[in-house]
Structure 1
Amino acid sequence: MSAQSIYDQAPIGALIRYSDGTPRPPQRFKNKLAAWESNNNVGRLVRKAESHTIGNHTTPASFTLHQGDFGSAGVVVLKVFKTFSVGSPLAFTIVERPAPGMVRVLDRTGGRAELLHLAADRAAAQAWLASHRYSDAVLDEVIDDDTAAGSGEGRAA
């Protein structure tokens, strides 16, 4: 799939794999492997942003993937995100869509919402929200339409 297809079809919370099509280098080549992993990885779709213009500069529509958290003893010190323009030349694949009944915890309502957490059910989402203080957080239950066709959830209108 193209980056535009992911933007149009993938629901917020989907697991997305991206690749430049090159073969993975052997493990012993640390620098080559690190460079390869920057264009060949997987992440959870957490945000979609529409195209916007500021002055003479137009920024194309984009989407952001959460690639992981780093820390120790349950304390996250670094969150890794990667943002792709809809014009990205990489190949994308939807690995997993959120299942019906799962609940997205979003940082706000509307098109600029960002996924904070994807919970198995409403009780788990409320428990997560109770332990992570977000004042404007919203719970959004995944329905069959999200998984079947990619609802475009999270896109600004």
Structure 2
Amino acid sequence: MSAQHIYDSAPLGSLITFSNGEPRPPQRFTRKLRAWNDENGMGRLVERSAGHSGRFASPATFALHLGNYGSQGIITMVVRRIYTVTSQLRFEIADQPKAGMVRILSRRDGREELHHLAPDFAAAEAWAAEHRYHGAVMEEVMTPDSVVPPVRLGRAA
């Protein structure tokens, strides 16, 4: 699949594999293996951002969450990689969120970002109470392609 297809059709929270199509080099070639690992792997689709037109045009992008690093339960580094829809890499949807899961996300300025993917609504509410995001919404996954209208988090005015 192309990067444009992932941007258009993959639901947030999907596991996406990416590849340059080259075979994996032998373990003994450490530099080649490191370069190959940069262009081949898997991540969770956590963000979509619309492109910008005008004086400084840019294509639409999406971000894959590759991992968290830290120790003793403290995350010190979050690794995300951003791809444009014009990327030459090949992408595949490895897995999609299951029905009944709940996405906690935010939307602003043509950007959609997944903060957490919970197994059910009770777990999503517990996570949202602990991690406050301004303007966050909850979406229950009905099928891999559709969601119910979002539930806004926060206090009523």
Same fold (TM over 0.5): yes
CA shift for structure 1 position 62: 1.2
Q: 1:19 to 1:5 in 2, by over 3 A?
A: same
1:82 aligns with 2:81: yes
- Aligned to 2:91, the other structure's residue is in SS state strand
Post-superposition offset of 1:98: 0.5
After superposition, the C-alpha distances for 1:16-63 in whole angstroms (9 at most, x for unaligned) are 000000111122322221111111011111111111135x22100111
Which position in structure 2 is the counterpart of 1:123?
122
Aligned amino acid, residue 137 of structure 1: A
Partner of 1:42: 42
Q: 1:69 to 1:95 in 2, by over 3 A?
A: same
Out of 26-35 and 113-122, give the one that drifted further. Answer: 26-35
Residue matched to 1:106: 105
Specify the alignment match of 1:95 in structure 2: 94
Counterpart in the other structure of 2:3: 3
Distance in 1 between residues matched to 2:98 and 2:49, nearest whole Å? 23
Q: Report runs of 4+ in structure 1 exceeding 4 Å deviation.
A: 108-111
Cα shift at 1:110: 7.7
Unaligned runs of 5+ in 1: 152-157
2:135 is paired with a residue whose SS is: coil
* Alpha carbons 1:71, 1:78 under 8 Å: kept: yes
The structural deviation recorded for 1:102 is 0.4
In structure 1, distance between residues paired with 2:20 and 2:146: 24
CA change 1:38–1:68 in 2 (3 A) is same
CA distance in 1, matches of 2:146, 2:5: 10
Residue 83 of structure 1 aligns with an amino acid whose one-letter code is: I
Is residue 15–residue 42 contact of structure 1 (8 Å, CA) maintained in 2? yes
Distance in structure 2 (CA, Å) of the matches to 1:108 and 1:84: 19
Identity, in percent, stands at 50
The structure showing larger relative contact order (alpha-carbon pairs under 8 Å, at least 6 residues apart) is 1
After superposition, the Cα gap between the structure-2 partners of 1:96 and 1:150, relative to the gap in structure 1 and judged at 3 Å, is farther
TM-score by length of 1: 0.86
Q: CA RMSD in A?
A: 1.8
Larger radius of gyration: 2
Q: Distance in 1 between matches of 2:58 and 2:49?
A: 10
CA distances 1:105-145 after superposition (whole Å, capped 9, x unpaired):
1134684231011110011111222222323322111111x
For structure 2, the residue ranges without an aligned partner over 5 or more in a row are 148-157
